[in-house]
Amino acid sequence: MTTAEFIREYRERDIRQLALQANRFPDVDMPYALDQIQGWQIARRKLPKWAARDGVIFPPHLSMEQCSSEPTAQYKLNLAMEWTTLNSELSTQNCRRQQFKTQNSKFKTSTRMTDLTGGFGVDFSFTSCAFAAATYVERNEQLCHIVEHNLPLLGLNNATVVCADAVEYLSTVEPQTMLFLDPARRDEHGAKTVMLADCTPDVVQLLPKLLEKSRFTMLKLSPMLDWHKAVDDLQGAVREVHIVSVGGECKELLLVLSKVVESELKVYCADLSTASDTSSLFVYTPGSSASVVNSKLKTQNSKFVHEPNASIMKAGCFDELAAAYGVSPVSRNSHLFLSDEPVEGFPGRSFVVERVTTMNKSELRKALVGIEKANIATRNFPLSVAELRKRLKIKDGGDVYIFATTTAEGEHLLLISRKYR
């Protein structure tokens, strides 16, 4: 059995079990085969279109875990398309409405882009489709060979692969429509960095060159970074901040840099989902005059409770959210919102409040009658989820949701709810 035959036949098996059986397959390059099987298994989850293509080569495990998923890569393609067409008949509003489409079709322009930190090439394979010509740059020679092999299999014929250091290449590159960077977020000891200036390459130091060499630059950063600090560090060059979540988890922070000042800084909170009808996009301008809704709603009498998605939570735009959707915060630090009526299009999850109780023992007993299982979340509450679950003696799961929170008056309450729709 050849290595390729082994990979095809055993790619759905547990790689740990396969590794133990290596002696049974003397003609198989087992380390390579196991890398490919593990890569394919990750791709089946993150990159199903790639997993469906015969012949695609996958890199070692770390590169596969760090690469973008198809939904986030598609988001970057749409963003690149919009920025290359700001002066065309395709309006910004129309581009935004296309934000969650999954087709990866070619976009005919006379433009060019360079990805200075190519990696496994997932982001490059998507964003390059918005340009007539594209260059992939990566200092890891092995990754360059893999990408050079994969690009034709993915139907990308407008790309050039260059093995070079990002900083050195930037000094010689011709002006581009877009530059793309995904700086490494680990130091020489493997520890994660949380400051923009600690990433490699140092984008803050490269900023003048990036602005000189491109109409716009897209930075992909860790969602752990403080985006306010990153915007300040980049000295007024940031035009847009995109906070991207998938399936309830914040995945990426994207910054668009440009020396062309076309509008105020805008923040886009995008929550992507495999179900297109549940994807959402909330846009706001930091420092705008949004004010908290001064509703007379009382927590005890409210009919609906709303939980913002992960991108909203990362952005911290709670006043803007309340003003835009007419909802009332439970309290300043609760990050839960109330309404008397359903709120269509709310960027997050909405629940029908069935009962509200304090932590008084007799009240709790009455409120929890018939509830053996529940999903519990604590927001601005003195007990952890584990501590509260132990006190309530309720198992995890079911279709009941209990939000434990503290009102503006300092009262500890449980909102016993069920999902709305």
pLDDT tens digits along 358-404: 999 999 999 999 999 999 999 999 999 999 999 999 999 999 999 99
Q: Which residue has the higher pLDDT, 302 or 38?
A: 38
CA-wise closest residue to 66 among 137, 140, 135, 119: 119
What per-residue confidence (pLDDT) applies to 115?
Answer: 97
User: Which amino acid would we find at residue 3?
Assistant: T
Residue 51 confidence (pLDDT) above 50: yes
The tens digit of pLDDT for each residue in 58-114 reads 988 878 888 899 999 999 999 999 998 864 433 333 333 333 333 444 444 478 999
pLDDT at 409 over 70: yes
Amino acid symbol at 256: V
pLDDT in tens, 146-180: 999 999 999 888 899 999 999 999 999 999 999 99
At the fourth CATH level, which superfamily is domain 67-284?
Vaccinia Virus protein VP39 (3.40.50.150)
Residue 166's closest CA among 182, 146, 150? 182
Distance CA 312, CA 335 (A): 10
In this structure, are strands 159-163 and 176-181 parallel, antiparallel, or unpaired? unpaired
Separation CA 228–CA 137 (nearest Å): 29
> Measured in whole angstroms, how far is the alpha carbon of residue 299 from the centre of its chain?
32
Residue 245: phi, psi to the nearest 5? -120, 150
Q: Which range, of 21-35, 200-214, 297-311, averages the lowest pLDDT?
A: 297-311
Count of positions (residues) in the chain: 421
- Per-residue pLDDT at 104: 41
Q: What angle do CA 351, 376, 403 make, to 5 degrees?
A: 50
Q: Is 102 helix (H, G, I), strand (E, B) or coil?
A: coil
CA-based nearest residue to 144, from 122, 126, 120 = 120
**Average pLDDT score over residue span 9-13:** 90
Domain boundaries, the chain: 3-65, 67-284, 299-419
Phi, psi of 269 (to 5 degrees): -100, 105
What pLDDT, on the 0 to 100 scale, is given for residue 157?
Answer: 84
- Quick: pLDDT tens for 235-262: 889 999 999 999 889 999 999 999 876 6
The distance from CA 41 to its chain's CA centroid, rounded to whole angstroms, is 21
Q: Both tokens of residue 145? A: 């060979």
- Residue 380, CA distances (Å) to 58, 266, 344, 395, 414 in order: 44, 28, 26, 22, 12
Q: What is the rounded CA–CA span in Å between residue 366 and residue 121?
A: 57
Average pLDDT across the chain, whole number: 87
Give the integer Cα–Cα distance in Å for 309 and 315.
10
